[in-house]
A = this chain, B = another copy of it.
Amino acid sequence: MTLEKIVSWLNDTLELDKFDDVSNNGIQIARSGSDVRKVAFAVDGSLASVKKAVEADAQLLVVHHGISWGGGMKAITGGTYNVVKAAIDGNLALYAAHLPLDASKKCGNNWEIARKLGLRRVTKAFNYHGNVIGVIGFDSQGRKIGVCSGGAASFAPEAKELGCDEFITGEADWGETIAAENVGMKMTLGGHYETETYGVKALMREMKRELRVNCVFIDR
């Protein structure tokens, strides 16, 4: 299958053009030649992930955290050089989808987590720079639960205002911890990495089902 076709499917499935993201979503490293026989999936576009994807004989690595953010890469040095060199040496393309993979109802982190937790009456919530990425739902005891994967602890005060009994995210830095305490919001931290495996795995599941392409998940 061609890289162009897979990228087009990813862009459409994740509705990439609807998000205003600090991640430069889409293809971040090209490759030579168009034919893709296996697609690897990982949370991070790290040196370790790229090496494992090459070893797994993949031609494309799809990640939640890529290597190009904001204005872009000032230089291909240090860690960026290590990742780029490993990808180019292995002729591996890198595709990143950040907020779209948090927010997607079909296969985003937060809807997936809500499904795993068996939440009911789930609705979208938590607006990050114009992009509503998280969810709110009710557990079996009727408690209102806010969910926003990864490093989203800055939403804890908003969860409080929305009347949540609990707010689930991946990690919180010290300032966010204090801010949640100041408003008395109970916050559960599931790990930045762990809470963001859900979207990546769901996206892999959908690609396999719809494109019938070989896929492999690269764990940490």
Contacts and interface: CB of A to CB of B under 8 A. Distances in A.
Interface residues on A, range: 35 or more
A70 B74 CA distance: 8
A48 B84 contact: no
Nearest to A151: B173
Contacts of A73: 68, 72-73, 76
A149 to B, nearest CB: 11
B68 A161 contact: no
Contacts of A85: 32, 88
A151 B174 CA distance: 8
A65 interface: yes
Interface string A165-180: 0000011011100110
A142 interface: no
A77 interface: yes
A88 B80 CA distance: 13
A108 interface: no
B71 A71 contact: yes
B174 A173 contact: no
Interface stretch (A20-28, A128-136, A201-209, A210-218): A20-28
B89 A181 contact: no
Interface string A41-64: 000101110000000000000000
